Structure 1
Amino acid sequence: MKQNILFLYFLFLFTLTAFAQNTYVFLGSYNRDVNAESIQVFELDAKGNLNKITSVKNVINPSYLTIAPNGKYVYACTDTKTPNAGSVSSFEFNPEKKSLTFLNKQSSGGENPVYVSVHKNGKWLVNANYTEGSVSVHPILENGKIDSLAQNFQYSDGSVHKDRQTRSHVHSAVFSPNYDYLFLPDLGADKIRCYAFDENLKQPLVETKFPFIKTDLEAGPRHFTFHPNQKIGYSIEEMAGQISVYDYENGVLTKIQRIPTHPEKTKEGFESSDIHISPDGKFLYAANRGKENNIAIFSIDENGLLKNIGYQSTYGKHPRIFALDESGKFLVATNVISGNVIVFERNEKTGMLQKTGRKIKMENVSCVQIKRI
């Protein structure tokens, strides 16, 4: 009897170990030097502490990262802000060996890549190029490497701001909830472009009846996210410091609200940057750079409309990208100019944030992604 109990006990421990998952935080940077660490990987513990496990050198300016759905591969915009250059790179992540290994890179199809997304099937990579305004599509091979360019669309139209909108500047590439459409917020053209995405085609981007929607003039749409209910989309506008809220259905966006990301007293000197929603769909978070350097916090009502309920300092300068972990317990913010990373614990009832763990220093830190593996 005792032997059976001991056997079951050890089987239970083995099962726990075999299926145990950890939460990993991936940080990119404008390192500008092949000898400097360009990507760093940390483990996030239950108290909000970041414990470094590995890093990568010999890569220039990985400004934006994304993690494959299976957690095995990391994809990055590389050679960002490098004249006449631009690439997307792949890395293999092995949590058991605590290693991140460079696999390969391909041309991003344009200068200054700033955003990269991976289809849920793990077979397609899409990136947005800011400087000349374009989107590129690459197949992903079974070994995680990026294949040669399959599609590239470039845009020339701009908008009314004489300095910042002389031409297209695509700032992100975001899949719809069902991954059957792709949305491209275009800061330079004051448009959110849209394509249907057919994963079974060799060239999956397909033009639609409604290829874009116009935003307000001088809005500068930057990043975009969908509510967990899949019926509402939210666009953060860098230049105007606003969030536009859209009803969403079958590739079509219909605006239902526009609300400031910053306090009314701030009339200038702000640059809104990133936007995310808590997993429970009750709160939205938006980053403000410039004079503010904070995370704006909004409650979301049953119709998807926003109400501002507060602001949280990021304890640094220029919060470009932040991320929420999959449980919704933690928010991690990166401050580019001050070069620090701050972990906040999130109150699930109120939506408020409180700094926790210890501050991490990383020069020119530009991006964070979080994945439970």
Structure 2
Amino acid sequence: MSVYRFDSETGKVTLLSQVEGSLNPDFLALSNDNKFVYACNVGVKTSVEGEVSAFKFDKATGKLTLINKVPGRGNNPVHISIDKENKNVLVSYYSSGSVSVFPIKADGSLDTISQRIVYTGAGPHRNQKGPHVHMTKFSDDGKTVLVADLGTDRVLLYNYDNTKAQPLTPADPAVELMSPADGPRHMEFSPNEKFLYVIQELSASLRVYKYDKGKLAFVQMTNMMPEGYDKNGAADLHISPDGNFLYASVRGDADKVILYAINKQNGKLTYVDQYSVSKAPRGFTIDPTGSFLISAGRDGNTIDFFKIDKPTGKLTKTDTKIDLAQVTCLKWVVVD
């Protein structure tokens, strides 16, 4: 794990700190007060149980200090999220097809698992021999959690109450089915939370839903790649802070970030442009001001920086880059 300072005026990047060791972090989440960082740590092999780590974070210096790490009771953790009151961490496990809830103690450390949900089922695609949970997503009010199960083509919905030891209970309805072999991977709400966008790894497509207090209504599906594309690489998606544009990445042999305009009235997407990025853009992020997009090329071992033209959403690659091996997740912290 590495921490850099980025100067949005000059584009200069400065390394502040690094955490050495064999933690092998895959995905990161910051507490809402930015005082703690949590990481899901992949085992040496995906068949080996992963761990979850808690770090104290000093945003003035960028220093990360390990507080503790706990067993994950799941294989190949690929995503981690935190509720808005910093009460629980939720971890998604791809290989074991499960979600685990870890309570957060007062000092920021993690307690042992309070709830574990293990899914069953499979899909028609060769990569769907079992359930593969890839993300949990909290609604803005913190009362709903959505779970993307790539292996069974489902988005599952839960009511969430962090006053309970087991905070997740199935909503009604509890499941939204995708098309066979879609593989829902990541999800993103529009800034006003009227719409939910789902990127689907296996079909390289995007789904749009109207969202209202835990209820989903299908609006649109659009393919990211030409018909017949079968590299199974759709990865990440993010929306500009003004809600005007959606960006989505696709890997395989494409290695693109694709830009869509958002119709704010009905949520529908219209293709605008696409941009080449470093190989295997598994994760990317947009800075809080909406001025920059940064893409992590896991197999290209490079982080690319793009300037965003806010009126059009279009990207221009800058001269700034970071060479970093196997980078998968990027997070911003605003420094006063």
1:291 maps to 253
Determine the C-alpha separation between the residues in 2 that align with 1:194 and 1:71.
Answer: 27
Aligned length: 332
Matches within 5 A, 1:300-339: 300-302=262-264, 303-314=266-277, 316-339=278-301
State, as a whole percentage, how many aligned pairs show the same letter.
33
Match of 1:96 among 56, 60, 64: 60
Give the counterpart of 1:276 among 238, 243, 255: 238
**Per-residue Cα deviation, 1:13-69 (whole angstroms, up to 9, x for no partner):** xxxxxxxxxxxxxxxxxxxxxxxxxx0000111233321100001233201111111
CA contact (8 A) 1:41 1:55 kept: yes
Taking the aligned partners of 1:97 and 1:259, their CA distance within structure 2 comes to 43
CA–CA distance in 2 between the matches of 1:266 and 1:350? Answer: 30
What is the deviation of 1:266?
6.3
Q: Deviations over 1:172-204 (max 9, x none)?
A: 111112111111111100000111101221211
2:12 match? 49
Instruction: Provide, for residues 207-229 of structure 1, a one-character-per-residue CA deviation record: whole Å limited to 9, x for no partner.
Output: 22222110011000000010011
Work out whether residues 103 and 110 of structure 2, in 8 Å CA contact, stay in contact via their aligned partners in 1.
yes
Q: Secondary structure at the match of 1:105?
A: strand
Shift of 1:270: 4.7
The corresponding residue for 1:3 is none
Which residue does 1:173 correspond to in 2? 136
Which protein is bigger by CA-based radius of gyration? 1
Answer yes or no: is 1:59 the counterpart of 2:22: yes
Query: Could you tell me whether the CA contact under 8 Å between 1:49 and 1:357 is conserved in 2?
Result: no
Q: Distance in 2 between matches of 1:98 and 1:351?
A: 30
1:252 aligned onto 2:254: no
Q: What are structure 1's unaligned runs of at least 5 residues?
A: 1-38
Amino acid across the alignment from 2:333? K
Is 2:5 the counterpart of 1:40?
Answer: no
Matches within 5 A, 1:131-280: 131-161=95-125, 163-262=126-225, 264=226, 267-280=229-242
Whether the 8 Å CA contact 1:48–1:345 is kept in 2: the answer is: no
Q: Which residue pairs with 1:370 in the alignment?
A: 332
C-alpha distance in 1 between matches for 2:228 and 2:200? 15
User: Does residue 1:73 correspond to 2:36, yes or no?
Assistant: yes
CA contact (8 A) 1:190 1:221 kept: yes
Tell me the secondary structure at the aligned position of residue 171 of structure 2: coil
Write the distance in 1 (CA, Å) between the matches of 2:270 and 2:240. 15
Greater share of strand: 2
Give a deviation string over 1:126-172, Cα, whole Å, max 9, x none: 010000200011111111111110100001111112x2111100001
**8 Å Cα contact 2:16-2:61 kept in structure 1:** no
Query: Deviation of residue 268 (structure 1)?
Result: 2.7
| Conservation of the 8 A alpha-carbon contact between 2:46 and 2:95 | no
User: What SS does the aligned partner of 1:244 have?
Assistant: strand
Separation of aligned partners in 2, 1:238 and 1:49 = 33
- Other-structure match for 1:28: none
Deviates more, 1:183-192 or 1:48-57: 48-57
| Structure with more helix by fraction | 1
From 98, 122, 129, give the equivalent of 2:93.
129
Q: Please report how far the alpha carbon of residue 367 of structure 1 lies from its aligned counterpart in structure 2 after TM superposition.
A: 1.2
User: 1:323 Cα deviation (Å)?
Assistant: 0.7
Unaligned runs of at least 5 residues, structure 2: none
Distance in 2 separating the partners of 1:186 and 1:82? 17
